[in-house]
């Protein structure tokens, strides 16, 4: 006699659906369609950051738009294509590997999604770039497994070159500039061309017998474009790719990659030597170019000398490859791109793979839901500086302070064009009865987070050479202690043929945030901006204070070092009295914020 099934129909339906989802072919289809859709939603569709004011765009669209405008970083555009090609080269191995996902990929996926939310909340793309890397690695480990990750590890690591590391430009270029100038001076002295460097300036040495002063023979400044940083990241990318393709030993690959840095510097030293030779033989206009106002128009020879960077670096890379593995290089190159082996990837544990695949699909969608509920409204805190009575937008500076009398200078038309929208500036020039002059400037940022430019960027564009920069501490008259950045700078002018006058100055600057926050370093103030925006819901409207102390002009080679020491001491004493007049304490800021609105976070 036939017996009726005791299993409820709904249970049978669920069991049938589960079994159908566990079929290897179904799992492959869901993964090959579902995971790319999730990646597209996260990184190509979702409006992530305000790449332009008041307009949010996705990570990849904003990245492509920004990189396409920056000639120094346009090599990033070809990296995704190279990554796809590198994965294609390993397709035969991938076809033989089973899908054996590991739950160890789940923490990496969650970390990437956390970075994604942080960047979305802070309105900055760099956590989003890190999220791309972590999410991809999490997907591979969670769904396909460790063997897959080992096979595509270099391609995944190479993807890092996709992201422009603009914050490293200044931090890496600054130490490279004086070192490049010092190396070029050492080479010139070795070959019998007297030269000396001060900071990033490379100049001919004085010659009393011939009546020549410093810089009469040649005078070059190693600006950021001659420091090696603009070509460094591209050369590092080339060295990593060349090492992977042409070398087999990991140690040789690592050495080649590390050598990209000294090779880039060596190329720039050769570039400087070519510019010196061109200046001595044909003059500065031919070798370097002409100054038109504050703009440097590079000559054809100057541009041509720039190719020396890549020429020297690439020659050195190929020489190292031949030194390491020589005749084996051809065989190493041929081991890539073998024909694919037929057959689909096996899935030994379909039920576990289904659970891991569902986690990889559901978690990113849940994070997008969290992002949709995150407050990303533009609310900025009140600035941490005192504003002028009767003008709630203009920063305040006193017209007199002790023995110093001030005179106010308005923002020039050129400064208005250079500064971003909403930036406010106050500037006073103070003079003491003893004749010391000090120019104080306070700049309050505008509506964009990155609307304050560092003096290290602005001053070289005005013809100044930065000799060094040193963080110092300053005790204020009201008992507070703040950190400042002190820079020594100089600029040479030639009022008459054969007469060169050097202007020296000291520049102090620091950043002032809300609730008594201040810092001396540019990148520290950026980090605090994002950290406080995410974890304290406090969005700073930063101000920057800049104190410029000029020294008396003197002929080149006849400077008095005691003048600089005296000016630094006078400036520190002046700052100790001036800063409390415009920089609010935490209690003053909180009291002012409560009087204006109930909470410190108010709209500008």
DSSP 442-458: EEE--SSTT-PPPHHHH
Report which secondary-structure segment, H or E, holds 527: helix 522-535
CA 31, 32, 34, 36 torsion-angle sign: positive
Rounded to whole angstroms, the Cα distance separating 331 from 317 reads: 18
Report which secondary-structure segment, H or E, holds 298: strand 295-298
Q: Assess contact for 179 and 172: CB atoms under 8 A.
A: no
Query: What's the confidence (pLDDT) of residue 3?
Result: 47
Rounded to whole angstroms, the Cα distance separating 514 from 382 reads: 7
Check pLDDT > 60 for residue 86. yes
Check pLDDT > 60 for residue 17. no
Please report, for the chain, the start and end positions of each structural domain, with discontinuous segments joined by +.
Answer: 15-164+346-372, 168-334, 380-551+560-602
Bridge-based pairing state of the strands 400-401 and 481-496: unpaired
Query: What's the confidence (pLDDT) of residue 602?
Result: 32
Rounded to an integer, the average pLDDT of 301-318 is 83
Q: Which two tokens stand for residue 35?
A: 């995971």
**DSSP letter (8 states) at residue 520:** S
Query: What's the confidence (pLDDT) of residue 523?
Result: 84
- Give exposure, 165-192, as e/b (b: 16+ Cβ within 10 Å): beeebeebbbebbbbbbbbbbebbeeee
Cβ neighbours, 10 Å, residue 304: 12
pTM for the model:
0.79
Query: What's the confidence (pLDDT) of residue 297?
Result: 65
Residue 433 pLDDT class (50, 70, 90 cuts) = confident
Residue 590 pLDDT class (50, 70, 90 cuts) = confident
Q: Which two tokens stand for residue 406?
A: 């001030």
Query: What's the confidence (pLDDT) of residue 603?
Result: 32
Query: What's the confidence (pLDDT) of residue 83?
Result: 95
- Mean pLDDT over each residue of the chain, to the nearest integer: 81
Q: Which two tokens stand for residue 374?
A: 């995150």
SS3 readout for 233-257: HHHHHHHHHHHHHHCCCHHHHHHHH
Check pLDDT > 50 for residue 600. no
Going from the C-alpha of 161 to that of each of 48, 100, 248, 355, 396, the distances in angstroms are 21, 29, 21, 33, 45
Q: How far is CA 175 from the centre of its chain?
A: 15
Q: Assess contact for 260 and 317: CB atoms under 8 A.
A: yes
Rounded to whole angstroms, the Cα distance separating 465 from 455 reads: 11
Rounded to whole angstroms, the Cα distance separating 102 from 21 reads: 19
Rounded to whole angstroms, the Cα distance separating 580 from 451 reads: 25
Rounded to whole angstroms, the Cα distance separating 115 from 43 reads: 13
- Give exposure, 524-533, as e/b (b: 16+ Cβ within 10 Å): ebbebbbebb
Query: What's the confidence (pLDDT) of residue 497?
Result: 61
What is the percent of the chain where pLDDT is above 70?
80
Query: What's the confidence (pLDDT) of residue 66?
Result: 87
Residue 206 pLDDT class (50, 70, 90 cuts) = confident
């Amino acid at each position: 006699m036939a017996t009726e099934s005791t299993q409820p129909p709904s249970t049978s339906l669920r069991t049938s659906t589960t079994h159908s989802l566990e079929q290897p072919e179904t799992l492959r289809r869901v993964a090959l369609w579902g995971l790319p859709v999730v990646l597209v939603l996260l990184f190509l569709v979702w409006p992530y950051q305000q790449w332009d004011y008041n307009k949010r765009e996705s990570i990849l669209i904003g990245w492509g738009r920004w990189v396409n405008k920056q000639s120094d970083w346009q090599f990033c555009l070809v990296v995704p294509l190279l990554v796809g090609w590198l994965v294609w080269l390993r397709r035969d191995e991938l076809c033989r590997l089973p899908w054996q996902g590991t739950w160890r990929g789940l923490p990496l996926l969650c970390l990437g999604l956390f970075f994604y939310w942080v960047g979305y909340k802070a309105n900055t793309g760099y956590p989003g770039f890190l999220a791309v890397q972590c999410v991809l690695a999490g997907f591979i480990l969670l769904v396909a497994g460790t063997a897959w990750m080992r096979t595509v590890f270099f391609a995944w690591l190479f993807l890092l070159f996709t992201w422009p590391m603009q914050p490293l430009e200044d931090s890496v270029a600054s130490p490279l500039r004086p070192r490049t100038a010092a190396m070029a001076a050492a080479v010139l002295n070795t070959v019998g061309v007297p030269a000396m460097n001060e900071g990033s300036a490379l100049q001919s040495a004085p010659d009393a017998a011939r009546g020549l002063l410093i810089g009469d023979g040649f005078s070059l400044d190693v600006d950021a474009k001659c420091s090696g940083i603009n070509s460094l990241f591209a050369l590092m990318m080339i060295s990593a790719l060349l090492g992977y393709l042409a070398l087999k030993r990991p140690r040789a690959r690592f050495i080649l990659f590390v050598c990209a840095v000294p090779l880039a510097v060596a190329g720039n030293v050769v570039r400087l030597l070519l510019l010196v030779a061109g200046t001595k033989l044909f003059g500065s206009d031919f070798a370097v170019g002409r100054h038109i106002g504050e703009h440097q128009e590079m000559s054809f020879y100057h541009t041509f000398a720039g190719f020396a960077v890549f020429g020297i670096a690439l020659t050195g890379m190929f020489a190292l490859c031949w030194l390491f593995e020589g005749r084996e290089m051809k065989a190493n190159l041929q081991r890539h791109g073998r024909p694919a082996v037929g057959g689909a990837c096996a899935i030994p544990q379909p039920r576990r793979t289904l659970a891991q695949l569902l986690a990889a699909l559901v978690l990113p969608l849940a994070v997008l839901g969290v992002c949709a509920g995150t407050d990303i409204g533009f609310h900025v805190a009140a600035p941490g500086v005192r504003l002028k009575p009767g003008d709630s937008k203009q920063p305040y500076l006193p017209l007199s302070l002790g023995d110093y009398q001030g005179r106010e200078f308005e923002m020039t038309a050129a400064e208005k064009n250079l500064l971003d929208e909403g930036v406010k500036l106050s500037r006073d020039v103070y003079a003491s009865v003893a004749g010391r002059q000090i120019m104080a400037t306070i700049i309050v940022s505008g509506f964009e987070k990155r609307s304050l430019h560092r003096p290290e960027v602005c001053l070289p564009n005005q013809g100044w050479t930065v000799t060094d920069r040193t963080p110092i501490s300053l005790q204020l008259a009201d008992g507070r202690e703040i950190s400042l950045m002190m820079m020594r700078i100089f600029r040479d002018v030639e009022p008459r043929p054969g007469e060169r006058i050097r202007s020296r100055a000291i520049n102090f600057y620091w950043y002032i945030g809300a609730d008594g926050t201040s810092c001396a370093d540019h990148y520290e103030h950026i980090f605090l901006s994002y950290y406080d925006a995410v974890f304290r819901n406090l969005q700073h409207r930063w101000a920057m204070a800049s104190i410029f102390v000029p020294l008396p002009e003197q002929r080149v080679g006849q400077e008095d070092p005691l003048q600089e020491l005296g000016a630094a001491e006078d400036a520190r004493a002046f700052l100790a009295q001036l800063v409390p007049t415009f920089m609010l304490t935490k209690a003053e800021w909180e009291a002012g914020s409560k009087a204006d609105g109930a909470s410190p976070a108010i709209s500008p």
